[in-house]
Amino acid sequence: MAGLVGYGGDPAVVASRAEIDRIGAHLHLVGSQLVLHSLNFLPDPIARLQLDSQLPLLGYRVQKTRLALSIAAENYFTTEARVSHTLEAVGHALQKHPWLLHLIPKSTLREIEVAGLSAFAVAQLAPGNFGKQATGALASTVNLESELAKANRRGLLVDRPVQFRQIASRSSAPVGSVTEIGRQIEEVNRFKHQIRIDTYVGGDGQKTMLVYLPGTQSLLPIAGSNPFDVTTDATLAANPDQSQLLKAISGALDSAGANGAHVIFAGYSLGGIAAAELAASGRFDVTGVITIGSPIGQVNLPSGIPVLSIENSNDPVPAATGRVNSLTENWATVSAEAKLHLGVPAIEAHELENYFGTLREVDQTKMLGASRVRDLIVGQLKDSELTETQTYEFNR
């Protein structure tokens, strides 16, 4: 397991990488102008001589500031985030301005197409994080809503209404760490069609609901009875307002008594996308979101909600929508490479069981942004008592 890296979640860092680069360029320009125009700056030769004697020191300070800015940015923005932002920018430029493709020779386009398909295949097989970057680059060029509409016209990935009902609950254990939350998601994920809602009550009487949302449980392209499937994945990515599962989960939360409670969503894969979209909907008093292996960069999350996005750097799924998570003071994105056996496809890095090494690192990290957001979320359960567990089943 490689070391944990990440970005976001630090209130002291509020500038984007583009803004930092812009300021650095201006500092470089200032230093250049000081040297180029020093001889013509003052007509008085004595004053000019005095200024010239100070220019080397002043220029040194400007360049030192520029270098310090660059080093700070390099230390804060991980290589993965920088590459992803670059690939995302290129992809979205082509998506927004398709005429740019006409400027590329057809022979080159054919090579790009072949390389793109190869890269997508490699995303499932290659070690390291190359596959994830390739997936993000390819996905950023695709209009997901248009592609879903095409599939719907062929009778594929057509969502249908989802019903919910409360069922008997198994015993649940209180949690106090990200790893323990992951274990509870793992348990919920084993049982099909279900979510679980644990209710905690603090000493002040404040009720907090921790909602566990599982991942994709069916990869069939035709919607079946289990709504935790690839149809819901596609709908959440392309047109979340039309997701029948989101509507049903919202109804289940209303039935569980979420009105007046704080709500923390914790989801794996599909469950993480659902968690982010539910938080963005504004229907509930959401005080935290934890996602594991989920592509949620496309979700417009309110800046006041603490969000902890956990990714395996060699897992291609978090890059599936072609969007990189935002850099904000309350959204931390952290990743580490899942160690896979030689010859095991990289898609195995998406398996929940292969995330627990990363989850343990998240619990142990002192990285300012990640530890701050982690504690903002998990800390809400400290000195609270688990008073109720509710389980809901969902069917189309």
pLDDT tens-digit series, residues 312-366: 988 888 988 878 888 889 999 999 999 888 777 778 899 999 999 999 999 999 9
39: buried, middle or exposed (CB in 10 Å: 19+, 13-18, 0-12)? Answer: exposed
The model's confidence at residue 42, banded by pLDDT at 50, 70 and 90, is low
How far apart, in whole angstroms, are the C-alpha atoms of residue 369 and residue 75? 13
Of 243, 253, 247, 261, the residue nearest 380 (C-alpha): 261
CA dihedral 271, 264, 278, 238 (to 10 degrees): -40
Q: Which residues 6+ apart lie within 8 Å of 297 measured at CB?
A: 321, 323, 324, 325, 326
Cα distance between the two ends of the chain: 40
How far apart CA 281 and CA 379 sit, in angstroms, is 24
Give me the helices (H) in 142-212, please: 144-153, 178-190
Q: Which residues of 41-68 are buried (b: 16+ CB within 10 A; e: fewer)?
A: eeeeeeeeeebeeeeeeebeebeeebee
Alpha-carbon 342 to chain mean position: 27
How far, in Å, CA of 223 to CA of 64, rounded?
59
- Angle of helix 230-238 relative to helix 244-256, nearest 10 degrees, comes to 90
Mean pLDDT of the chain: 82
Residue 83 has pLDDT above 70, yes or no: no
Percent of the chain surpassing pLDDT 90: 52
Report the C-alpha gap between 126 and 134 in whole angstroms: 11
Distance CA 214, CA 216 (A): 7
Q: How high is the pLDDT of residue 103? A: 55
CB neighbours of residue 136 within 10 Å: 27
32, pLDDT greater than 90? no
Is the pLDDT at 244 greater than 70? The verdict is yes
Residue 330: what pLDDT? Answer: 95
Identify the residue with better confidence: 256 or 137.
Answer: 256
Q: For 172-197, what is the mean pLDDT? A: 95
Residue 61 has pLDDT above 80, yes or no: no
Adjacent-strand bridge partners of 209: 199, 263
Q: Which of 15-19, 151-155, 241-245, 367-371 has the lowest mean pLDDT?
A: 15-19
pLDDT band at 74 (very low <50, low <70, confident <90, very high): low
The helix or strand, by DSSP H or E, that contains position 369, with its residue range, turns out to be helix 368-378
pLDDT at residue 148, rounded to an integer? 85
pLDDT (0 to 100) of residue 1: 44
The closest alpha carbon to 390, from 258, 244, 262, belongs to 258
| In the block, residue with structure tokens 């949690």 | 175
Query: Would you state the pLDDT for residue 311?
Result: 96
* Strand partners of residue 266: 212, 290
What pLDDT is attached to residue 222? 92
Q: What is the pLDDT of residue 80?
A: 47
Check pLDDT > 70 for residue 288: yes
pLDDT tens digits, residue range 137-163?
555 555 778 888 888 999 999 999 999
pTM value is 0.75
